[in-house]
A and B are shown apart, each in its own frame.
Chain A
Amino acid sequence: MRIGRHSYAIDYGHLALITFIAALVFWYLLDARSVSLSVNNLLLVQPVAIFALAMYLFILPQCFHKVEAREAAKPTSENDPFAVSLSTDRADVIRMAALGVSLGLMVFLLDVIGFDIAIFLFAAAAMAICGERRPLHLLFFSLAVTLVTIYGFRALISYPMHTTLL
């Protein structure tokens, strides 16, 4: 994007995140105000929400980088001694997203198909996403995770755990 004499790169991911947070905060403020305008209700929520929205406006320009400045900043981030920094490589992002989706599917299917089957399928899918291709390894390790966690947690917790096979 060009504004005046400068070219800007937009960090759409960051923009989406802060806009989502701001929308959430704004909705929460409206929801709180719709319940009651009493000071006892809004004493903390209203000023903190307004502060958060002000921070949003303050952070917003950080999503727009001058192209030259962005390129100059690259080499320093690559030298980070902690390898925990997130990869931006397309294939890596797809892997992370796939793992997130499979975690979501497992969580929402626990009560539908049973904890045992959901955990088995998730473990196999997660192994495959992380690069495991040998069918026997996929089968036996996922089975081991399922058996150990189901029987382990069943011994530990007092709530009923819905299972289909175990």
Chain B
Amino acid sequence: MIDVSAFNDALGIMFTSVGSWGWIVPGLIVGLVFSAIPGISITMAMAIVLPMSLYMDFFSAIVFLTSVYTGAGFGGSVPAILMNIPGSPSSFATTFDGYAMSQKGEHNEALGYALFASTLCGIAGYVLLLLVIEPLADIVLRIGPVEMFAVAIWGMMLLGSLGSTYISRGLLAAALGILLGTVGMNTAGFTRGTLGLPVLLDGIAPIPAMIGLLAASQLLSLASRDYIIEAEGSREVSLRKILKGCWGTLKYPGVLLRGSIIGIIIGAVPGVGSSIGNLIAYAETKRTAKDSATFGKGNPKGVIAAESAVASGEGGSMATMLALGIPGGGATAILIAAFMMHNIVPGPSFIETQKPMVYAIILNNIVQAIVLLAVGIGFIYVASNIMKVRTRYVLPAILVIATLGTFAVTGEAAGPITLFVFALLGYALNRYQYPVSAVVVGILLGRMLETEFLRSYQLSGGNPLYVLERPGAMAIFAVMFISLAMTAWGKRKQNRAEAAEALAMRQIQEETRAAHTTPSKG
């Protein structure tokens, strides 16, 4: 299953680029710190540090950014356990039992469970990726432009339909992203939407647009708060109890395995990501557990299930990104941008021609998961203070860094201006619940989509029935329409249930209010 010669070459890359290992700890710290601050997401952290990676060699840049990604996976669980506030959406399910354990005075053990589950399942996700990358390479090499186009459209549809409460808004965001991605000169030599500006001939600069949409727009919305979060007083941290929690994780191999499998599968599907993976893993563990009644009241299995899905989901999303060159969400979109900054296009040809590099990236991620164990414990000691930052100090500093970061990428004012325009657009989209990540991925994939579509058109000679000769593409389109229909049906059902629940809650509140007001009148 593993190409031994490429694996040996990968070890060679790992040991000849020891300097890149130095980026693991700073990357983990950036990821941990940013994701521990509620309101500042993993993608925002990665978007802000992305321009810095331009000045590193390719391997160091990927090591740094994937370390941020790995650190952020665990960082969000610290405020989730200590304060019942998920640092990032992917830590939501961790609050259910993590905070309950905290209330019982078992916060150290809960942090230990979360940390060790993150480490073990992060490793498991990447080991599995190491094993499947070779067979995956054989499959993806058979993919032609029609299948590539179908996969990209499917990814966009999923991102659009799953990333928002409203499918229609998600699909509009995805379509807008694709159109923005096609601005400039296409592969056939036609120039559109440039407004006569030479700077737009190559299209909209994706990195400043991405930083504007993912980071600056969110930062603008924090202006109304004095503190990013009103934190509770810090709790006493005990290394002995954290290690006891770490050790205790091993008592639940079934929970770890189930969480990992769910995380990997969900992580590999574009648009779903770890924010849903952790909820599904938690729900499945609760459903199958004999002691399901204790879930939500401080059962360690709840913490382990949620965290294992978050950590292993990273391996799953990297599989899709490396094999197909399609980002599963904001974080992998930034990784693809980092690849592009170094003139490397991930996808079938990258896996085939750069297999040692692919293995080296995966191996380095395994190292990161191990280093996370040590850095994570150190981080727990300072975490509760990081969460009490005042926005008046954080906002100006981060916005200036983000602006100069875009200048570092483009070398002219066009970068900061693009950031500003897309920050405003991102703010408006966020305000009305449009998935910003769908726009980002559309901008990244727009050009590729058009090129693959053009190639398919040329291969088929303009005959739409050509798709019938490509069973792979037909299967992908069929799955796409079925999954879209199922999502629409599921959302309709969910919305109805939520509306009914809201109505029932309202009736109960009104009845309670009436019961309270009647005696006082009398």
A residues whose Cβ falls under 8 Å from a Cβ of B: 11, 13-14, 17-18, 21, 24-25, 28, 31-32, 35-36, 38-41, 43-45, 48-49, 51-52, 55-56, 58-59, 62, 72-73, 75-76, 81-84, 86-87, 89, 91-93, 95-96, 98-100, 103-104, 106-108, 110-111, 115, 119, 122-123, 126-127, 129-132, 141-142, 145, 149, 153, 156-157, 159, 161
Contact = CB atoms under 8 A, between A and B. Distances in A.
B407 interface: yes
B172 A18 contact: yes
Contacts of A91: 224
Interface string B414-433: 00110110011001111110
B13 interface: no
Nearest to A27: B193
Interface stretch (B131-139, B214-222, B306-314, B374-382): B214-222
Contact of B396 (A81, A126, A161): A126
Nearest to B80: A81
Interface SS, B side: helix
A153 B85 contact: no
Interface in B201-232: 216, 218, 220-221, 223-224, 226, 229
Given A21-B176, A55-B172, A159 B407 contact: yes
Nearest to B393: A141
B400 A35 contact: no
- Residue of B38, B221, B419 with most chain A CB atoms under a 10 A cut-off: B221
18 contacts: A25-B176, A40-B188, A40-B457, A55-B168, A55-B175, A58-B168, A59-B172, A72-B499, A87-B221, A98-B223, A99-B220, A99-B223, A110-B403, A127-B392, A129-B223, A131-B226, A157-B411, A159-B408
Given A32-B193, A103-B423, A156-B55, A52 B396 contact: no
B191 interface: yes
A100 B395 CA distance: 12
A62 B191 CA distance: 35
Kindly list the 3 A-B residue pairs having the minimum CB-CB distance in the complex, ordered from nearest. A92-B224, A130-B392, A40-B188
A157 B396 CA distance: 21
A103 B407 contact: no
B86 A82 contact: yes
Given A55-B168, A96-B223, A110-B416, A149 B175 contact: no
- Residue of B55, B218, B396 with most chain A CB atoms under a 10 A cut-off: B396
B91 to A, nearest CB: 10
A130 B391 contact: yes
B274 to A, nearest CB: 15
A29 to B, nearest CB: 9
A44 B193 contact: no
A100 B222 CA distance: 11
Given A17-B432, A45-B182, A131-B392, A73 B502 contact: yes
A5 B449 CA distance: 48
Given A38-B190, A72-B503, A96 B427 contact: yes
Interface string B10-41: 00000000000000000000000000001100
Nearest to B183: A28
Interface in B169-197: 169, 171-172, 175-176, 178-179, 182-183, 186, 188, 190-193
B400 to A, nearest CB: 5
B454 interface: yes
Contacts of B192: 28, 31-32, 35, 41, 45
Contacts of B498: 76
A95 B399 contact: no
Interface SS, A side: helix
A128 to B, nearest CB: 8
Contacts of A62: 166, 168-169
Contacts of A87: 221, 224
B484 interface: no
A107 B85 CA distance: 34
Contacts of B408: 153, 156-157, 159
B486 interface: no
B407 A161 contact: yes
B370 interface: no
Contacts of A126: 223, 392, 395-396, 399
Contacts of A142: 396
A126 B454 CA distance: 47
Given A107-B417, A159-B407, 12 more contacts: A28-B179, A39-B457, A40-B186, A40-B188, A51-B175, A52-B179, A55-B168, A75-B505, A76-B501, A99-B220, A107-B413, A119-B400
Contacts of A161: 407
A39 B178 CA distance: 18
A36 B190 contact: yes
Interface string B425-444: 00111111000000000000
B199 to A, nearest CB: 14
Nearest to B390: A130
B179 A49 contact: yes
B39 A84 contact: yes
